[in-house]
Amino acid sequence: MGNENTASASIGRALALFRTMCLIREFEERCAEEKARGTVPGLVHQSTGQEAVPTGICAHLRREDYLFSNHRGHGHAIAKGADPAAMMKEIFGRQGGTCGGKGGSMHIADFSVGMLGANGILADGLTMAVGAAQAVSLKGENRLVCCFVGDGTTNRGPFFEALNWAQVFRLPVLFACEDNTYASTTRTDEVFAGPGVVARVASFGIEAASVDGNDLGAVDAAAGRLIAQIRSGGGPRFLHARTYRIRGHISSDPLNYRRAGETETHMATEPIARYQKWLIENGASETDCSAIRAEARALIERAVAESMAAPFPDTNTAWTDVQDIGGPQWNG
């Protein structure tokens, strides 16, 4: 874990990153609990165990940078600065949700922090990301665009189109692949040809790095380097982060397609305990860490309580924001 040494300049910054990971973890676990209790109406895709990836990457993004996410996007949104309470309300379908209850978990967006949306359709965020980057370049702005993609999704055609497009137009895009081993119930390596996604990316002339995605220091360092290159006009970059989906594809997934002991083995390398160990070895105290964990737990607990207490949206809002001309009242 030598990378962690170089990457985390100060322990204060490191603790802030640790806090983000803890927030994500708490958010995901509580979400799933609530789903199991029947208080959450829609599907919940947890990113438990993958927290280091968005945390390490978003540490290098600015508020005005754009982020395009996917179906497993809670962690991305939190790391980009979205308010977990508003996100939780959204997932509960309540007033005050990031999208007023119209979106839900798979469609969380918070434009005020540059989080341009989770997505229920695999790979579509990638093509949107290159277009946003083209707009940025047309407007002469100084923004970077980041998009997340799962390992399984790298077999969809638009993934490749977006890579080619980004490189042809030398766009300021960071593609971040969260390789959590699975796509739904399928091990991606069973339906993935060739030496790996990095080789595929390289064949478009795009520089890529592959890191242990459960090592926050490694993600942080690689993301910092790639993002600096993008900001200095180097065109698109690709970050491949190897991680593991500790929970099921959706929270109700019985995981009966896994080998015995598989989850447990991977629990041993989950990023939060690992980073805590590093923190303590590097000057933080056990108490600091526990306090951060407790604070995260309390914050999410409050978010759940607020969500539960929040009213459902006014039914009139179902009829608004479809389109200016020809909205649903036309036929009503």
Ligand X SMILES: Cc1ncc(C[n+]2csc(CCOP(=O)(O)OP(=O)(O)O)c2C)c(N)n1
Contact between 44 and a copy of itself by CB under 8 A: the answer reads no
Contact between 104 and ligand X by CB under 6 A: the answer reads no
Q: How far is the CB of 150 from a copy of itself (least distance, A)?
A: 15
Q: How far is the CB of 69 from ligand X (least distance, A)?
A: 10
User: Residue 65: what residue type?
Assistant: D
Near Mg ion in 116-175, by CB under 5 A? 150-152
Contact between 133 and a copy of itself by CB under 8 A: the answer reads no
- Quote the radius of gyration of the chain (alpha carbons, Å): 20
- Give the helix/strand (H/E) hosting 237: strand 237-242
Among the listed residues 203, 200, 222, the one whose alpha carbon sits nearest the alpha carbon of residue 211: 222
Contact between 207 and a copy of itself by CB under 8 A: the answer reads no
Q: Is 113 helix (H, G, I), strand (E, B) or coil?
A: helix
Considering only 71, 107, 237, 242, the residue that binds ligand X (CB under 6 A) is 71
157, exposed or middle or buried, with CB in 10 Å at 0-12, 13-18, 19+? exposed
Contact between 152 and ligand X by CB under 6 A: the answer reads yes
Closer residue to other proteins (CB): 186 or 290: 186
Contact between 50 and a copy of itself by CB under 8 A: the answer reads no
Contact between 167 and a copy of itself by CB under 8 A: the answer reads yes
Near ligand X in 164-183, by CB under 6 A? 180, 182-183
CA 100, CA 80: separation in Å to the nearest integer? 19
CA 288, CA 271: separation in Å to the nearest integer? 17
Considering only 9, 36, 121, 199, the residue that binds a copy of itself (CB under 8 A) is 199
Contact between 159 and a copy of itself by CB under 8 A: the answer reads yes
- Give the helix/strand (H/E) hosting 2: helix 2-7
CB 57, CB 238: distance < 8 Å: no
- Which residue, judged by CB position, is nearest to ligand X in the bound state? 150
Give me 164's structure tokens: 């080619």
User: Residue 249: what residue type?
Assistant: H
What 8-state DSSP symbol labels residue 71?
A: S
Q: Length of the chain, please?
A: 332
Near a copy of itself in 254-273, by CB under 8 A? none
138, exposed or middle or buried, with CB in 10 Å at 0-12, 13-18, 19+? exposed
Closer residue to ligand X (CB): 156 or 231: 156
Residue 206 touches which of other proteins, ligand X, a copy of itself, none (Cβ within 5-8 Å per kind):
a copy of itself
Closer residue to other proteins (CB): 190 or 264: 190
Q: How far is the CB of 103 from ligand X (least distance, A)?
A: 15
Contact between 151 and ligand X by CB under 6 A: the answer reads yes
Q: Which residues of 206-223 are buried (b: 16+ CB within 10 A; e: fewer)?
A: bbbbbbbbbbbbbbbbbb
Q: Contact residues for ligand X (CB under 6 A)? A: 71-72, 120-122, 150-153, 180, 182-184, 188, 245, 249
Residues of this chain that interact with a copy of itself (CB under 8 A) are 155-161, 163-164, 166-168, 190-195, 199-200, 202-206
